[in-house]
Structure 1
Amino acid sequence: MKQQLKDLVCHGVSWAGLMPAVRSLFAGRAAIISFHEIQREFRCELATGTSVSLFEHSLRWLRREGWEIVSLEECLDRVSRDDRSRRYAVLTFDDAYRDNVSVALPILERHNAPFMMYVPTGAPTRTLESWWLGLRELIRSRDDVTVDAMETRFHCPDVQAKVSALARATQWVHEDYHRAAMLAPTFRKAGISLSALNDAYFLDEREIQALSHHPLASIGGHTTSHPALKNLDSASARAEMADNRNYLQNLTQRPVRHFAYPYGNPKASGPREEQLCSAVGFLTGVTTRPGPLDNLPLNYFALPRVFVDSEVGFQARMSGLQRAFRMLIGDARAA
């Protein structure tokens, strides 16, 4: 209901012809846009990524509305120079999914759109404890699912019920990232191999090597094992970043300058992780905290990103409509 109300308001603002005024007052000068999977079979994958149609719409919308799609380094350079001649968008992909190449890359090539892919070591080496893939496979492969650690049984005979069950189980992990390890007995009992899922869904080393030479692609770091870094001691968190950077530089024979924090919210990363990110040699760190790039000076080690969940939602975020709502609500509460 909440999302439907937001969509309705956004449609109303657009219908009334107010969007240009909202954009001029509230839109950021630049934005880093976050993607994970780009899915041909969006419903089959339980709506866990971005559909091809929404991905294509997003790129067309950016072009139509005058956003220039540039590399992360070019974007940050222009923002630092206070270049207001255009608005700039950066496309990023987390985790190195196969469909980023098989599905998204041909679309990116048609748009001549540069992009950044953040790669955890465990994805191409097939050692990643990809609990989110395990949960998805568990729930979509059966109509009755018991997640032992949650002490919860789901009856999900149709796609909508499966999407809802997966959302509940995923949220349970995000409330405490230590819980991810508690899912292993359930996966074993169901015969689900995370290594096999890694092989099915993530690029391998040869494919990442090839992608690193593509003129539109840049490769960034994303830790060795994709942990919530705040849960680790300082030495372990630093090793997760440094070892991943060294691995990717050796694999691609190219410098790896940029980093994405796993999970990237305040529960999983904070000032300590920002300091470590800089100390191991990265130039930037992106988070999952929402927002555009428009506050100078930028904190290069806690850069926000914009997420794509629907056509209307994406347009509202990029046009500044959601920021306008937040400011109005804040003013109303203050009064």
Structure 2
Amino acid sequence: MTDTIKWGIIGCGNVTEVKSGPGFQLAEGSELIAVMRRNGELAADYARRHEVRKWYDDADALIADPEVNAVYVATPPSTHKAYALAAAKAGKPVYVEKPMALHARECVDMIEACRDAGVPLFVAYYRRALPRFLKVKQLLEMGTIGDIRFVTTVHTKKLTEDPANLPWRVIPELSGGGHFFDLASHTLDLLDFLLGPIRDASGRASNQGKAYAAEDIVSGTYVFESGVQGTGLWCFTAYQGGEINEIVGSRGKLTFSTFGSEPIRLTTADGIGEYSLEQPKHIQQPLIQTIVNELLGKGNCSSTGVSALRTAKVMDELASMR
């Protein structure tokens, strides 16, 4: 068994600059040894700036590198399936960015390919490993708000896209949908982590702003296997941005943001308490460490293809415009 996981990154774009890339170098038992970008000059520049030994402009060449023993796919969702299947065929564990794929059917294909190849599949829902949300989970498990009854999410954002120069995140054939698939996926996966799987979801999506083809508003309801109920509203053409989650129980509630750094607020009959936890500089590093630990036989990662498939199914069900 190897004592170091030697990573290769496919797609070294913005998300890898601070959020993830350095985490592969800083995690214990981990090393980033190769990066790939279709533009070779940009791949070489990334490798130089991040002190990575090898760079490629061809994904197959990186996957075939005998030194690379795990692959991180950091491209838009439209290529996640193809690269994951190629890595699995080469017998190498795969870590893919979120959302896992364009839709749940592709997620199933990825899970089956990795299972047949005998390699693990992980997904970058990194909030599962952040101290901030581990604290929320601890407070829930301690019974600080009593029996959990329901959860609400409201997430709004101003319309800022230029129709003449749209980002890939709102082009469905590249991202799977709009901002809902990019942003709400984090919250829905986090709720799966905190409250357990969702067994049933129903929603409605539409395009109100007409700035791009994807949905720009989604609302829906869902029921967890535990019986906890939930509602969500995501609007990306509102007059201002904001985002909040509330988990309400029989003796209190927890209020927190998925994306912000505001303190977690606990409200009970005894008053209001707040918990402030600093986010790590390289925000994916804690999850990367759990992946490395699992690959080295020292632990388990909670964000797998199976858990991410559950989130993909819920998103597909909520965004019923499609």
TM-score by length of 2: 0.28
**Higher helix fraction (1 or 2):** 1
**Higher strand fraction (1 or 2):** 2
TM-score by length of 1: 0.27
